[in-house]
Amino acid sequence: MSDSKQGILVLNSGSSSLKFGVFLKHDGDERAWLSGSAKGIGREDGSLSIRSSDGSIDVSQDHVLESQHDALQRVADVLREHLRDPLAAVGHRVVHGGPEVREHCEITPDVEQTLREAIPFAPLHLPASLDLIDEARGIFTDAPHYACFDTVFHRSLPEAASRFALPREYAERGVIRYGFHGLSYESIVHALGADLPSRTVIAHLGSGASLCALKDGRSVDTSMGMTPAGGIPMATRSGDLDPGVLLYLLRHESLDAGALEALVNRHSGLKALSASDDDMPALLTRRDHKDADAMLAIDVFCYAIRKTIGAYAAALGGLDLIVFTGGIGEHSEAIRAQVLDGLGFIGARHRVMATEEERQIARHCRRLLSA
């Protein structure tokens, strides 16, 4: 059976959501035959949408998803009804592979155990990813399952960029800069192809946000660190902090490790600065009404992005192109304009591109199948 007829199912999960797609190989690249999302899993406002590129499938339902298992089972039912050939593979987006898993790979029992041991490196992300993998393997039993990691793209970071200024023993235990959003960055590199210049900065701006400096298509620096909480301020994440801030909160505000984790991941960023909102369209509306907290949140966000781009221009010895991607990067002209204001001296072009993480996962899975 040819690869072009066998689909690759890609799963990309959030805390209460699931994005998915089935990709078929056509004209030498992966094309989305089916795509969809399950939102509000476990909530009364849950919804499911599934659509095929040829229009033969158009499913839209509300209040149907009690669990992630239910969402996956509904996807399986649709595939059994409409997909004539068996799946070639199931690909999973996994945010962090920890210090031991630094390549995309088939999910074997040994790999799964290694990922469980790596949970301390991504306690907010890896447990959910592993739960989804277990659920999917129980439903899609006849296809191999592959893990594709957001950290792999950044393996090219030079040691000067990946090392923290801590004793070497900690680096040897995995306390280094890993970087994230790698599948997004890689999809942009793939889409640009021969049009990718030597010195590029990509800004992936969404609820989670980061930037990457690329030299000849390879990551040489990135804003997120050992975890996705580092870098620029995000929707609810603090981004980089003076370590003394955390020490102060430990000693004088009686915050323990769990409280600090909740603070820097769920109660900081735009949400904290604006005193309520982590949604950029809502913040921009508030700014239009002269809301001071919303203005501050947007100013801090854009300033951090602009400052990082300037630093990366210095690291790259100049800058040829800035790419904006992610939900905010793609859809907010106001944020792009504010970020670019003051960067004219760099002389770089800029463009807006859609990220294609699921498609990039499908490419990796197809490659691993033929390896």
For position 46, what pLDDT does the model report?
A: 86
Strand pairing class (145-149; 105-106): antiparallel
Beta bridge partners of 36: 20, 50
Evaluate whether 3-149 and 155-352 have a shared fold: yes
- Residue 221, classified by CB atoms within 10 Å of its CB into exposed (0-12), middle (13-18) or buried (19+), is buried
Residue ranges of domains in the chain: 3-149, 155-352
CA–CA dist 123, 350 (Å, integer): 35
For position 2, what pLDDT does the model report?
A: 42
Task: Let me know if 150 is a catalytic residue.
Answer: yes
Largest CA distance in the chain: 65
Helix (H) or strand (E) holding 73: helix 68-82
For position 44, what pLDDT does the model report?
A: 82
Helix (H) or strand (E) holding 29: strand 29-39
What is the identity of the amino acid at 137? R
For position 67, what pLDDT does the model report?
A: 84
Per CATH, which fold does 3-149 belong to? Answer: Nucleotidyltransferase; domain 5 (3.30.420)
| Residue 4 DSSP code | G
pTM score of the predicted model: 0.95
For position 206, what pLDDT does the model report?
A: 95
For position 1, what pLDDT does the model report?
A: 34
Instruction: Indicate which residue of 3, 85, 142, 150 is catalytic.
Output: 150
CA–CA dist 365, 371 (Å, integer): 10
For position 69, what pLDDT does the model report?
A: 86
CA–CA dist 8, 5 (Å, integer): 10
DSSP calls for 151-217? TGGGGG--HHHH--SS-HHHHHTT-S-----HHHHHHHHHHHGGG--SEEEEEEESSSEEEEEEETT
DSSP calls for 205-274? ESSSEEEEEEETTEEEEES--SSTT-SS--SS---S--HHHHHHHHHHS---HHHHHHHHHHS-HHHHHH
Between helix 126-139 and helix 68-82 the angle, nearest 10°, is: 40
pLDDT in tens, the chain (371 residues): 344 579 999 999 876 688 999 999 999 999 999 999 998 888 888 899 999 998 889 988 887 788 888 889 988 998 999 888 999 999 999 999 999 999 999 999 999 999 999 999 988 889 989 999 999 999 999 999 999 999 999 999 999 999 999 999 999 999 999 999 999 999 999 999 999 999 999 999 999 999 999 999 999 999 999 999 999 999 999 999 999 999 999 999 999 999 999 999 999 999 999 999 999 999 999 999 999 999 999 999 999 999 999 999 999 999 999 999 999 999 999 999 999 999 999 999 999 999 999 999 999 999 999 98
CA–CA dist 46, 67 (Å, integer): 10
H-only helix segments in 254-332: 257-266, 269-274, 280-288, 292-316, 326-331
CA–CA dist 208, 11 (Å, integer): 18
Q: Tokens 């070639």 sit at which residue?
A: 88
Per CATH, which fold does 155-352 belong to? Answer: Nucleotidyltransferase; domain 5 (3.30.420)
pLDDT, one tens digit per residue, over 65-92 is 888 888 899 889 989 998 889 999 999 9
